[in-house]
Structure 1
Amino acid sequence: MNAFDPAALECLAALADAGSFERAAQRLAITQSAVSQRLRALETGLGRLLVVRSRPLRLTEPGKLLLRYARQMQAMRADIARELGAQGQHDERLPIAVNADSLATWVLPALQPVVQAGLAEGFGLELIVDDQDFTHESLREGTVLGCVSTVAEALRGCTATPLGSMRYVAVGSPGFIAQALPQGLHRANFAKLPWLVFNRKDDNHAVWVGQAFGVTEPRLVERHVPSTEAQTRAAVMGWGVAVVPELMAAPGLASGALAALHPEVHVDVRLHWHQWKLRSTADADTTDAPPAAETPLRAGVLDRIGRALADGARAALRPLEPSNLATTP
């Protein structure tokens, strides 16, 4: 892999990010012809098509494999710049994928110490949002260098760190509950109510209903509100029932703006942090050096991000236990 031209790999990453040769050229401050020539040389040397010339561009499976390598090279370059005191001279992009509910609750506070310490200088931290069941695919494809995911098993070449369990509860406004559910929520009326849903990938409401009433694949009336904060606010406004993170619902429950439905029922989603294994430049000097995670003064930026997320999750989430996944006490 060391034989690949770093400039060509940079072009591949730019094409994946920008989606077109024109925008990739603008991002790299070179001509479209130069981008095309570098990509063609990479494809010729490998003997594989790496990019499908569609609108937008998309990477082939070999292209995704090579993109993972390009992302790791970007992260290592950011580490080198930091260790040489060259912060601000490079604009390296370090993308990580997180689910929207984590981003809305505990991820930003967890990353705050990293940003405050100045470790973000010299690279561009990019937070990519997807459902927690799908962020792992972004890591597999090389779109990101790390992700918060429900998947527990690490990919080859990656590490997986348990974070904790995010609890979801069903809530609605007292006014909505009094008007729509005078006899309470039960098996005869749950399918007639509007349920606030993040998007088509979101199934926490269906899992909650399944636990509460012992049904499988319930058919529910859905209102899509693609924001955790807006979903909670819509519940306060009486739009319907929302199954949201306990962390997000807590202020409304405390103030009386929200009321819990069947508070004994909850959905616990187990979260893990995955990242590619990247050796820091200092560790590369000796084969006997301990792993970067055990040498905090020499660890790379990605390792520090991972540790910050683990610390933040430990403070905000529930500890992982075998019974914590989708349980009803």
Structure 2
Amino acid sequence: MNEFDPAALDCLAALADEQGFERAAQRLAITQSAVSQRLRGLEAQVGQPLVVRSRPLRLTEAGKVLLRFARQLQALRVDVARELGERVAPQSRLAIAVNADSLATWVLPALDGLVQQGLREGYGLELVVDDQNFTHDRLRQGAVLGCVSTVAEALQGCRVQALGVMRYMAVASPDFLAAHLPDGLHVGNFADTPFLVFNRRDDSQLQWVSRAFGVRSPRLRERFVPSSEAYVNATVMGWGVGVAPEIQVRPFVEAGRLTVLKPEIGVDVALYWHQWQLQGRFALLDQIGQALAEGAQKALG
């Protein structure tokens, strides 16, 4: 197979990120016609379509394979430019996927040094947010170069590193407990008690109830709050019982604004860092992984 045109691979990556030809062209500072022409050339080279021209645009399985290669090539370019002391191309950015609770607690402090370095050197770091059980899919599909995930097994061509365990606790506001659970939360009333849920993929509340009361497949009254920060705020405001990271609710517990329910019961979520490997090493990606490992160790213990 002939060498792939780097400019065409950049177009494919831009199309995947922007999910449309117009925005991809704007990002690359070229015309839509040029984006289409480069994509057609790449599709002709591999002999199959790489994108589904829908709204939003989607990549085919072959497109996802080439997207992984495009991401890795972009990362190598960034490394080479940094080693040569050159300023990185302005559109260069490395995408990693993280879960919302980690982003709301320990990820930003962990990456701050690298982000400040990127401002000086010209590269960007893009954080893609997804549920910790699904960030791994983003890596497999080529959307990101690394991810924080609950999956322990590495994909072929990737390496994995344990980060630590995030413990989730059930909490509620004192006012909510006084008004709705004067006798406490127990097996006889949990089904009638509103529980806050991050999204429809979030099962931490079900896990906690199962462990607390020995109930298999419990049914809960769910109230959805799809933001880590807003989730905790809603719990403080008395919207229901929340199951949230201990490190996130600790200040509210210490201030008396939240009460831990059944402190002996928790849901432990092991987190791992995954990253793609190519020939040699991605120096910057390795630095991101190291920064996350150090940050997780400091925050999660």
Matched with 1:38 is 38
Question: Partner of 2:294 in structure 1?
Answer: 311
Amino acid at match of 2:212: A
Q: Which amino acid aligns with 2:114?
A: V
Q: Tell me the residue number matched to 2:148.
A: 148
The equivalent of 1:234 in structure 2 is: 234
Contact 1:78 1:90 in 2 (8 A): no
* Regions of 4+ moved over 3 Å: 116-120
1:287 is matched with none
Residues 73-132 of structure 1: CA deviation (Å, up to 9, x unaligned) = 111111111111122543312100000000000001111222344587332100010000
Pick one of 295, 300, 304 that aligns with 2:283. Answer: 300
Per the alignment, residue 173 of structure 1 pairs with: 173
Percent of residue pairs bearing the same amino acid type: 66
CA distance in 1, matches of 2:89, 2:71: 18
Residues 22, 32 of structure 1: 8 Å contact kept:
yes
Distance change (3 Å), C-alpha of 1:119 and 1:311: farther
3-state SS of the aligned residue for 1:268?
A: strand
How many residues were matched structurally? 301
Q: Secondary structure at the match of 1:269?
A: strand
| 1:225–1:231 contact (8 Å) kept in structure 2 | yes
Structure 1: 5+ residue stretches without partners: 281-291, 293-298, 319-329
Per mean C-alpha deviation after superposition, the further-off stretch among 302-311 and 121-130 is 121-130
Structure 2 distance, partners of 1:130, 1:120, is: 28
SS at match of 2:121: coil
The aligned residue for residue 263 of structure 1 is 263
Shift of residue 260, structure 1, vs aligned partner:
0.6
Tell me the SS of whatever aligns to 1:133: coil
1:158-189 deviations in Å (ceiling 9; x for gaps): 11000000000000001111111111111110
Pairwise CA distance, 1:233:
1.0
Q: For residues 317 and 120 of structure 1, do their structure 2 counterparts lie closer, same or farther at Cα, with a shift above 3 Å needed? A: farther
- Counterparts of 1:173 and 1:20 in 2: how far apart (Å)? 45
- Residue deviations 1:1-21 (CA, integer Å, cap 9, x gap): 661111111111111111111
- Does the CA contact (< 8 Å) of 2:196 and 2:243 recur in 1? yes
- Structure 2 unmatched runs, 5+: none
Structure 1 match to 2:189: 189
| Residues in 1 aligned to 2:71 and 2:298: alpha-carbon distance in whole angstroms | 30
**8 Å CA contact 2:89, 2:123 repeated in 1:** no
TM-score after normalising by structure 1: 0.88
Mapping for residues 132-147 of structure 1, pairs under 5 Å: 132-147=132-147
Q: Displacement of 1:279 after TM fit?
A: 4.8
Cα distance in 1, alignment partners of residues 278 and 113 from structure 2: 22
Contact 1:81 1:122 in 2 (8 A): no
